[in-house]
Structure formats: structure tokens, C-alpha cells
Amino acid sequence: LGFIAEEVADIEPYLAFKNKEGEIEGVNYDKITTVLVNAVNEQQSQIEQQKKTIDNLEKTVQSLKAALCVSRPDLKICK
């Protein structure tokens, strides 16, 4: 099992190697871990930022709901 070298090169040329004719020949598997760790760290940062955004939005929704229910306690979301 392995990666398709041309597809790897499209995403990260650093991870592929070429033959004497300059054609993509294979994948530098020993370098993949570094790239993957960096990608995971970047995704984790994005996840943490998205969680902060979601938390802020949830607080905003709760505040708006509370304010609305003061004047309209008959609404379904207020019950």
C-alpha cells in the first residue's frame, strides 16, 4: 500500500522524488511524518479557533433568546 507519487507531488512537491528524466518516480516516505504533524497542528489550531467562535455564538444566541423571551414568553423557544 502506498500513495500515488503524482498526487503527492501536486500537494507537496517536497515529498516526491524524480528519476533522471525528471519524471515523478516515488514518494519520500521518511519525510511524510513531518508534513503530517505540521498539518495536524494547523488543523488543531483551526479547531480551537472554531470552538471559540461557536462558544461565542452560543452565548449570543442565549442572550438574544433571554431578551426575546422577556417580551414574548409565549414563543415556543421560551418554553
SS3 for 20-50 is CCCCEEEECHHHHHHHHHHHHHHHHHHHHHH
Cα of 70 vs its chain's centroid, Å? 39
Task: Record the pTM.
Answer: 0.66
Q: Which residues of the chain have pLDDT under 70?
A: none
Which pLDDT does position 40 carry in this prediction? 97
Which pLDDT does position 13 carry in this prediction? 93
22-43 pLDDT, tens digit each: 999 999 999 999 999 999 999 9
Mapped onto helix, strand or coil, the DSSP state of residue 4 is coil
Which pLDDT does position 79 carry in this prediction? 86
